[in-house]
Amino acid sequence: MTIPIENIYYLLSYSWNMLDEKNRVNVATAGMTKLIDLLAKVLVNSTRLILKRGLEQSYVECETAVAGLKGKLLVSETLKSNTFNRYKTLCRFDEFSPDVLMNQVLLTTLRKLMFIRTLDRKLREDIRNLICMFPEIRQIEITKSVFSRIRFTRNNRFYNFVLNVCELINENLLPSENRGEWLFSDFTRDEVKMYRLFESFVFNFYRIEFKGEYTVRRESISWQFEFDDPEHSAFIPGMLTDITLENTERKIIIDTKYYQDTLAERFERKKVRSANLYQLFSYLLNQERESERNRNTTGILLYPTIEQDYDLDFRYENHDIHIRTVNLNRNWTKIDTRLQEIVSMN
């Protein structure tokens, strides 16, 4: 499944819940064919905005030789290093500096991009020029845990968008056979990663676009089993919906799926995957006891496609069940309209 670059950018922006930041960065995707070029362009434009408004700074603990005294004197270290002979002492003190974790991640990622052979030459030159504009900031080893240590405030919240881009780039970088070079693994070819992105995108789309009309959440549902031995209940897994929309009148459970081929093919005939129907059916049946409204809950299986759209409708007792697709190969306004219609017309 090949999705246009522009639509990937929309999916990511909704998934991160950062549409305002996307509009501020203002990246033109016309003519782009490679995902790494898009991400690099986003990072270049974002970094320009950050440098224009000023890099985030904070107090950083420093330990260095100074003339005289500053902060806390490290007596034993000073004696061992013999800095007295040079009329200096080793001191520890706090210094207001841009050499903070979020800037280290940003600069390290920009430097890695320089060593991706397939990166557009103009973008590589832009990155080189940007790096020259940074003050002295350390390069670090970027691991998954690094991003969980970063804390955002009202003043630096734009960094959240930028560092999401950095995290996505670093997650998909692989060492090249040529020492010092990197390869970018296009995550759009990975069904598992794209499923997570699609689910997150749809969830935030409905949460944003239907705000005030529906409460949008992930709902925990328990199996409605009876147990002779109560301890046996601990072995039964819970269920968590991808998306539940509800108001005082309606309840809709949406289960999102992502496959390279939207429907399964059996004996040259297209079929909805049985496991997908079983899962949605389990959600609908096991949430019935909560209220009268729940006994009329609508269930929707939602798939992305790049070719044919499907609108399949079924009914089980009081439950309407719909199979719907959204074509991600279309203009974004048509995707927006389609997603809104899927909820509004059911």
pLDDT of residue 210 exceeding 90: yes
3-state SS assignment for residue 218:
coil
CB atoms within 10 A of CB 309: 13
Mean pLDDT score, 47-70: 82
pLDDT of residue 278 exceeding 80: yes
CB atoms within 10 A of CB 246: 17
Mean pLDDT score, 51-74: 78
Confidence of residue 86 (pLDDT cuts 50, 70, 90): low
Cβ atoms 9, 22 nearer than 8 A: yes
- Residues above pLDDT 90, as percent of the chain: 57
- Pick the more confident residue, 167 or 231: 167
Q: Which long-range contacts (CB under 8 A, 24 or more apart) does 205-209 make?
A: 205/14, 205/339, 206/243, 206/245, 206/254, 206/339, 206/343, 208/14, 208/17, 208/19, 209/336, 209/339, 209/340
Confidence of residue 203 (pLDDT cuts 50, 70, 90): very high
Q: What's the pLDDT tens digit per position in 113-135?
A: 999 988 999 999 999 999 999 99
Q: Where are the alpha helices (DSSP H) in the chain?
A: 5-15, 19-25, 35-53, 75-81, 101-113, 121-132, 144-148, 158-171, 191-209, 274-286, 332-344
pLDDT at 83: 63
Mean pLDDT score, 182-196: 91
Q: What is the DSSP string of 137-159?
A: -------HHHHHT----STTTHH
Domains recognised in the chain with CATH numbers: 5-56+102-189 (no CATH), 58-97 (no CATH), 191-344 (3.40.1350)
Q: What's the pLDDT tens digit per position in 246-274?
A: 998 899 999 999 988 887 877 778 888 99
pLDDT of residue 82 exceeding 70: no
Mean pLDDT score, 183-211: 93
pLDDT at 222: 87
Mean pLDDT score, 291-316: 90
pLDDT at 173: 92
Q: What's the pLDDT tens digit per position in 215-229?
A: 999 999 988 888 888
